[in-house]
């Protein structure tokens, strides 16, 4: 009689567990897919995240059900729980960094902060993203270095590959030159070469006098460029504006 | 008989839980809306905060009620509580950063510290706010970079888009010049151009001698400007005041 | 009979709780008002602090009484306590920063460290205090920026608006000049202009030779000024003392 | 019978508690007074410390006695203990800084590290101590600023007002000068002016060649002065030694 | 009868434990080998990792089974569990760093971040990897130093031995030179010597004007090289391009 | 009968406790005295350490015995243990720094790292040790400052008063001078003056060319000196070697 | 009967404990000796480590056995365990640093990272190792200072006494000189003097042009030397190569 009741309860527990797991799994899948579709995340990433979350929840439900069933059959679960608790503490302390890596990695993926192939800066390391894992992010630096950065170390992440960029050139002019004249010459140069340099979306334009030093002044020129073209545009602007100043006989100090 | 009493108690527990949830939900909604109306927060933000708080409280009440009902039916809840406790510890340790992000994010939203479109500085990153989430804040830097900063990393936040700004120009004058004369010339220049430069609200005025070096002295000029116009005003002031000094024959060293 | 005894005990518990609450509330109110009256704290601040403390203590007493009453009626309170404990841990870990903010904010208010309108420096941010909240302090920087600093980040707080200030001017003199002569000229200049510059309370006086470099020496001049006037006085002193040196034919290097 | 025994036990518990409290209070008072008398601590400080310690111990004994008495009358104290535990954890985590402030403040007072009116440096803040509290130390900076530093932030404390100080002057001499001659001239100057400058206790004396640069060498002069007179003495020494060098025709580079 | 049942249960527990261990061991072995085969990890490393993981899991299963069996025979396991718990806490706190080292070391091995013989930079230490252990990584610096760095200190790891590298040479040219001419001469030089220098894969090419200073400008030249050849190529490029400029009569400032 | 057995057990517990305490006390005393005799530690320090350790162990044994005896008489010790536990946690968290100070202070004393009167550097503070306490170390700086540094802040400790020191003098010589000649002159000077300067134990000797700059080279001279004499020897060496160079007609740049 | 069974059980527990201790002790001894023999560790160190580990494990087994035996005789061990737990927490928190020191010290010894007499750099302190203890490492600095560094502070350790070292000399040459000529002269000088300088194992060789500045270029020369000879070799190389350049009439700028 006792046995029968216990068996029945166990059955109910297992049934409820499976049901809860099914529902939660479905909800998670829908939530992640909805979330990710906003950012146009690639399908493999969506799958990675869904698998991670559902298996985590699966383990949890399995553990609770196991304990409940054991208790139903008078098996004292204290040993199991205590062991799990000690293990949990060990994870909590020693592997804190690991859990922290995975949690941060999960959200970096979920929030679509980086995609493979984008040029980003993490802390002081810049490079093209080669892989975004749950524990580390791999960047290929400009000079060929391969940087491994644990996700938890990402205290800020700058993505250089989203949207248009600015090309900014500062020119140092001798103090004795006439300011209006210099700005006029530079603006003319900007107008003339703006179309010749590919990759420029807006400008270049002379912003004005950026600073007045003891023997020189700095004039700033700005242009909006296509993503990835900003350095080339800056180099071109420097070359062309120097020539424009040379032609107009304006000296640098 | 026993069963009936247990059922009744369970019913009462569930009823009380629902009642408490209803009351708390209403109070929260009123509190947040009152709080947010002060800062003219946009409606979507108010909704986000209300949903977050009410669902959190809902989960908590549901959990307590569940445990109480189970106990009423002699189902030993130790397993559930222990599992939840271990999970809680795991969250506490490993995902500490995540919880910290959400808590900070919640208050950054609640206190209206930033709005989308404002120009802010967080730690060493400056940019226009693109999104203020519960976990990260997204800033679009001046040169086009997109910065992701976890909320917990916000050790200070400077909002550059609230109220009028100051335009400040330091001019280095040769030591041999007469101080009173220089100040007079600059003040005259300030008076003359103050109206011509749009965006100035008050001034510009000469503050006085800021420092006396070994071969030069620094004169500081200050103007109150409309928000966002301060850099343009500074550039204009630099250009015009240099011309004023040139005309008066005052040399920089 | 059992029921009656339980009811009676519950009644006593509730009565004692209300009594304790009343007494504690009164004591708190008296303590805070006494404490705050020393620093001439504005009434709204006194009210804020009193409300915060009394409601916190109220919640605590309510919680203890609830648990005690439930136990009296054989309702097992383990579930409630466990839930509260887990919640407590969650607060302890994740929201550690929040609690820390409130505790620090409470004492910054209680100890009258800042008042709205005072000019303070917190960490590296200087500004006029716009609001001192329980979670953040808002500073309006000199250039118009609005700084939000979480209270827990206040590792030191410098208040520039309490009491008289010093105006300090360092003058660099060519090494070849006669020291006594220079000091005499400067002291005469100080005596002459001390009364003309408003805001000076004491001095200005020449302190003496601050340093002897390879080709120059630095003479320091000091004056006590009204709070907020120190920068203006410094600028005036620099201008006037430079003129005094020019008239006496003393050169800077 | 049961009640009588319980009452008796409770009486014994209360009696023992009062006794223990009395003894501990006396011991504490004696210990602190003995400790403080060594450092000549002012009486108010001794009282502050004694009150703090005895009331803390009083609360603890009261709490233990309360729990013991309640248990004696079959009132289950689990609720009280659990609540106190949760409160303790909350204090432990959130208000960690506060407890840390008080503990450090207690020892700064007990060890007589600072007295009101002394000139000290804490971290990077220097000033005259205005108040040494249990939570913050208040310093009045030289320029009039009022610094509030939480006690826990005191990672080192330098007291400039205990015992005699050194006045140290470095003089840069052209490389081509004869070393022995320069040292002789300076030592003669030191001997001549040592008595004229008040506040000097020992010296001044020429230490010797401190460094040999590419075009100059540095001679160091040292004097022991009364506390607080060191800056004045240094300024006087600089002035007088420069005159001595001028008279002897020794050039600085 | 009781004894028999207990014995039977113990047998089942032991049997299940052995079964679980066998399965888990197999799964772990397969998982690690699959994972490692992707990165072409050397076999000894695969063995190290498999041994570590399986023995850890073995100890855990053994401990749980032991406790369960003891409970079955009415031996109170509280003592064992409590001792293990205290030991666990001690490990958690004191040896936190050690556990952290091993966990990080495990993943550095698993993820194939470094191989013995590769040139890497960890924090500020660069060198050839001599050994990658579970607790420290040993680097042989360029000048012969042997660096020991605990794995937990690896906040970022840069591997310089994966894939091609860039050789980058900046040349400073006098401002007065013609930009186009200089670039032409350098590009010609690049074309001429590109084939002569072994180790170059692509380029060298002139990128353009990197910066315009007050009296000079910087021209950047870039080449893709074989791994490890970048420094030699840079030295060669510097020598050859200097000669090209000398021949063309272009001066450095 | 029950009472008698309880009394007997209590007696045994107390007896065993006293015995254990006596043995432990003796062992500790012997251990510390043996340990300290190696370093020639002064007797008061040995006494301080022995008192500290034995009283700590005494309190612990007293507490365990008290709990055991109370349990023997059916007094439920839960309240006492719980209170002690909460107190322990409070100490653990809030007074962590204090405990840490005492533990570090204990080992600094035990390991004889500093003695009163020695010249040491702790972090960035240098001075003569005035007192080494269990919580702070007091240093008297060269200029008379009194530094208080909590023991836990001692991340490294440099003792300048143990064993012989090196006097090191770097001389900058014009590039055009003949290296061998300069080294010969300096070595001759070293040989000549080595005996005249008291405090030198070995040397001085010319090490060789330390660096070759663009217009000068640096020659390094080294001597082993008695402890505390190194600065005086350096000053003497600088003076004498400069004279030697002057006589030989060797110029500094 | 009961007593007999208890006694028997206790006997078995004690027997098993002794057996386990013996086995573990033997295993530890073998493991450490095997491990250490690889690195040729001196015998005293092996003994230190073995004693430490075996006594630690001995205490643990003793504690578990004690608790088990006490339980067997119906003595409630809760008090002992609770006391031990509180002590454990106190160690965990307050003495965290101490435990951390010992654990790190243990592995520094076990892994043979340093030997007494080797020249190492820990953090920013360099010196010859005088003692490697379980809590601190003692370094004798080049100038005679004695550094005490707690083991836990060792975030990286650089051993300069393992294997051959590099001697590296950078020579700055006037820009106008012919590159090939300079390199030829230097290489000839290298070849000539390579054998004359003792301690050189390989080289010296000219690496090439390290950098091209605005008015000079830097040539790098490299040699492999015996450990400890690198500074002497560098000084010799500098002297000899300068002479070689002088003879060839090549100027430094």
Instruction: Place F87 in a pLDDT band, splitting at 50, 70 and 90.
Output: low
Choose between F46 and G122: higher pLDDT: G122
Chains A and B touch (3+ CB pairs under 8 A): yes
- Give the residue on E whose Cα is nearest the Cα of G180: E239
Query: For chain A, which chains pass the contact test of at least 3 CB pairs under 8 Å?
Result: B, E
Rounded mean pLDDT of chain A? 78
Instruction: Place E156 in a pLDDT band, splitting at 50, 70 and 90.
Output: confident
Give G-chain residues touching F92 at CB under 8 angstroms. 89-90, 92-94
Locate A68 and state its tokens.
């409940």
Contact D107 F238 (CB under 8 A): no
- Give me the mean pLDDT over the F198-224 stretch: 78
Q: How far is E104 from chain A (nearest CA, A)?
A: 8
Question: Which residues have CB under 8 Å from A160's CB, separation 6+?
Answer: A118, A119, A120, A121, A126, A227, B144, B145, B146
Choose between D149 and C166: higher pLDDT: D149
> How high is the pLDDT of residue G69?
74
Contact F159 G141 (CB under 8 A): no
Q: Which long-range contacts (CB under 8 A, 24 or more apart) does A28-36 make?
A: A28/A53, A28/A54, A28/A57, A29/A54, A32/A110, A35/A110, A36/A110, A36/A112
Domains in chain B with CATH codes? 2-94 (1.10.287.1260), 113-159 (2.30.30.60), 165-247 (3.30.70.100)
Contact A143 E168 (CB under 8 A): yes
> How high is the pLDDT of residue D252?
61
- Give the residue on A whose Cα is nearest the Cα of E230: A143
| Nearest CB to D236 within list C99, C162, C208 | C208
Question: Which residues have CB under 8 Å from A167's CB, separation 6+?
Answer: A200, A204, A222, A223, A224, A225, A229, A230, A231, A233, A234, A237
Spatial strand order in the sheet of B200-212: B165-174, B216-225, B200-212
Indicate the angle between helix axes G96-110 and G43-72, nearest 10 degrees.
Answer: 130
Give C-chain residues touching B64 at CB under 8 angstroms. 79-80, 83
Q: How far apart are CA D187 and CA B80, in angstroms?
A: 86
Is the Cα dihedral A47, A53, A57, A60 positive or negative?
A: positive
Choose between B201 and B73: higher pLDDT: B201
D199 close to C (CB below 8 A): no
Q: How far apart are CA G99 and CA G95, in angstroms?
A: 6
| pLDDT tens profile E45-64 | 777 777 777 877 777 777 77
Picking from B32-46, C84-98, D62-76, D112-126, which range would have the lowest pLDDT averaged per residue? Answer: C84-98
Closest CA to F199 of F159, F167, F168: F167
B123 has a pLDDT exceeding 70 = yes
Contact D156 F147 (CB under 8 A): yes
F140 has a pLDDT exceeding 80 = yes
Give C-chain residues touching B154 at CB under 8 angstroms. 150
Spans of chain A below 70 pLDDT? 1-3, 35-42, 44, 70-95, 212-215, 251-253
Chains G and E touch (3+ CB pairs under 8 A): yes
Chains C and B touch (3+ CB pairs under 8 A): yes
Q: Which residues pair with C208 in a beta bridge?
A: C220
Q: Which residues pair with C27 in a beta bridge?
A: none
- Give the residue on E whose Cα is nearest the Cα of A139: E158
Three-state secondary-structure class, residue D187: helix
Q: How far apart are CA F83 and CA A126, in angstroms?
A: 54
- Give the E-state strand segments of C13-142 in sequence order: 119-122, 125-132, 136-140
Contact A103 B97 (CB under 8 A): yes
Choose between E127 and C75: higher pLDDT: E127
Three-state secondary-structure class, residue F204: strand
- Give the residue on F whose Cα is nearest the Cα of G139: F158
Give E-chain residues touching A252 at CB under 8 angstroms. 175, 212, 214-215
> How high is the pLDDT of residue C111?
80
The whole-number mean pLDDT for each consecutive block of 10 residues of chain C, a chain of 253 residues, reads: 74 84 82 68 72 76 73 59 57 68 83 85 88 86 87 87 82 76 83 80 79 74 82 81 80 62
**In contact, F211 and G235? CB cutoff 8 Å:** no
Output phi, psi for A178, to 5 deg: -75, 125
Contact B168 C80 (CB under 8 A): no
Contact residues, D window 230-249, toward F, CB-based 8 Å cutoff: 230
Spans of chain G below 70 pLDDT? 1-3, 35-42, 44, 71-95, 212-215, 251-253
Contact G94 F93 (CB under 8 A): no
Task: Compute the count of residue pairs across chains A and E with CB atoms less than 8 Å apart.
Answer: 141
**In contact, F226 and F201? CB cutoff 8 Å:** yes
Contact residues, A window 40-99, toward B, CB-based 8 Å cutoff: 60, 63-64, 67-68, 71, 77, 81, 84-85, 88-89, 91-93, 95-96, 98-99
Q: Which long-range contacts (CB under 8 A, 24 or more apart) does D210-213 make?
A: D210/D170, D210/F235, D211/F238, D212/D175, D212/F171, D212/F172, D212/F238, D212/F242, D212/F252, D213/D175, D213/F172
Instruction: Place D2 in a pLDDT band, splitting at 50, 70 and 90.
Output: low
Q: Which of D9, D174, D209 best tests the F interface by mutation, with the highest count of F CBs <10 A? A: D209
Locate D103 and state its tokens.
């503990």
> How high is the pLDDT of residue A6?
75
- Give the residue on E whose Cα is nearest the Cα of A249: E176
Give G-chain residues touching E242 at CB under 8 angstroms. 179, 209, 212, 217
Q: How far apart are CA F141 and CA F147, in angstroms?
A: 7
Contact C236 B111 (CB under 8 A): no
* DSSP3 helix / strand / coil % (chain F, rounded to 5): 55, 25, 25
**In contact, E216 and E174? CB cutoff 8 Å:** yes
Percent of chain E with pLDDT strictly greater than 70: 80
- Give the residue on B whose Cα is nearest the Cα of C243: B179
What is the reported pTM? 0.76
Give E-chain residues touching A247 at CB under 8 angstroms. none
**In contact, B172 and B250? CB cutoff 8 Å:** no
Give A-chain residues touching B235 at CB under 8 angstroms. 207-210
B80 has a pLDDT exceeding 70 = no
Output phi, psi for B77, to 5 deg: -90, 5
> How high is the pLDDT of residue A83?
57
Choose between D77 and E206: higher pLDDT: E206
* Predicted complex ipTM: 0.71
Query: For chain C, which chains pass the contact test of at least 3 CB pairs under 8 Å?
Result: B, D
DSSP state of B111: T
Locate D72 and state its tokens.
């004696």
Contact C209 D142 (CB under 8 A): no
Residue E173: in which H helix or E strand, if any?
strand E165-174
Q: How far is F38 from chain D (nearest CA, A)?
A: 31
| pLDDT tens profile B85-99 | 555 555 555 667 777
Q: How far is F34 from chain D (nearest CA, A)?
A: 31
As to burial, measured by CB atoms within 10 angstroms (0-12 exposed, 13-18 middle, 19+ buried), residue D192 is: exposed
- Give the residue on D whose Cα is nearest the Cα of C179: D239
- Give the residue on G whose Cα is nearest the Cα of E252: G214
> How high is the pLDDT of residue F20?
83
Cα separations (Å) of F225 from D206, F120, F165? 21, 18, 5
Give D-chain residues touching F123 at CB under 8 angstroms. 156
What is the SS3 string spanning chain A?
Answer: CHHHHHHHHHHHHHHHHHHHHHHHHHHHHHHHHHHHHHCCCCHHHHHHHHHHHHHHHHHHHHHHHHHHHHHHCCCCCHHHHHHHHHHHHHHHHHCHHHHHHHHHHHHHHHCCCCCCCCEEEECCEEEEEEEECCCEEEEECCCCCEEEEEHHHCCCEEECCCCCEEEEEEEEEECCCCHHHHHHHHHHHHHHHHCCCCCEEEEEEEEEEEEECCCEEEEEEEEEECCCCHHHHHHHHHHHHHHHHHHCCCCCC
Query: For chain G, which chains pass the contact test of at least 3 CB pairs under 8 Å?
Result: E, F
Contact F79 D77 (CB under 8 A): yes
> How high is the pLDDT of residue G82?
56
Is the previous residue joined to D86 through a cis bond, with omega within 30 degrees of 0? Answer: no
Q: How far apart are CA B70 and CA B81, in angstroms?
A: 11
Contact residues, D window 123-152, toward F, CB-based 8 Å cutoff: 152
Rounded mean pLDDT of chain D? 78
F12 close to G (CB below 8 A): no
F188 has a pLDDT exceeding 70 = yes
Query: For chain D, which chains pass the contact test of at least 3 CB pairs under 8 Å?
Result: C, F
> How high is the pLDDT of residue D93?
59
Q: Which long-range contacts (CB under 8 A, 24 or more apart) does E49-58 make?
A: E49/E106, E49/E109, E49/E110, E52/E106, E52/E134, E53/E28, E54/E24, E54/E25, E54/E28, E54/E29, E57/E21, E57/E24, E57/E25, E57/E28, E58/E21, E58/E25
Chains D and E touch (3+ CB pairs under 8 A): no
Contact B210 C235 (CB under 8 A): yes
Cα separations (Å) of A225 from A129, A160, A194, B138? 22, 13, 11, 21
């Amino acid at each position: 009689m006792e046995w029968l009741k216990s068996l029945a309860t166990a059955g109910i527990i297992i049934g409820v567990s499976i049901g809860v797991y099914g529902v939660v799994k479905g909800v998670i899948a829908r939530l992640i897919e909805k979330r990710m579709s906003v950012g146009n995340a690639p399908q493999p990433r969506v799958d990675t995240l869904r698998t991670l979350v559902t298996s985590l929840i699966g383990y949890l439900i399995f553990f609770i059900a196991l304990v409940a069933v054991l208790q139903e059959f008078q098996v004292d679960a204290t040993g199991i729980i205590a062991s799990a608790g000690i293990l949990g503490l060990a994870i909590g302390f020693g592997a804190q960094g690991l859990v922290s890596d995975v949690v941060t990695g999960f959200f970096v993926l979920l929030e679509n902060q980086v995609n493979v192939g984008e040029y980003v800066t993490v802390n002081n390391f810049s490079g093209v993203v080669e892989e975004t894992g749950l524990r580390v992010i791999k960047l290929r630096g400009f000079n060929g270095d391969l940087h491994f950065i644990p996700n938890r170390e990402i205290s800020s992440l700058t993505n250089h590959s989203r949207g248009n960029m600015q090309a900014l050139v500062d020119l140092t002019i001798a103090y004795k030159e006439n300011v209006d004249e210099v700005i006029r010459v530079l603006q003319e140069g900007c107008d003339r070469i703006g179309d010749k340099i590919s990759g420029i979306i807006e400008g270049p334009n002379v912003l004005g006098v950026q600073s007045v030093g003891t023997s020189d002044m700095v004039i700033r020129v700005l242009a909006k460029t296509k993503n990835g073209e900003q350095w080339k545009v800056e180099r071109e602007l420097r070359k062309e504006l120097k020539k424009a100043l040379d032609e107009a006989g304006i000296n640098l100090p």
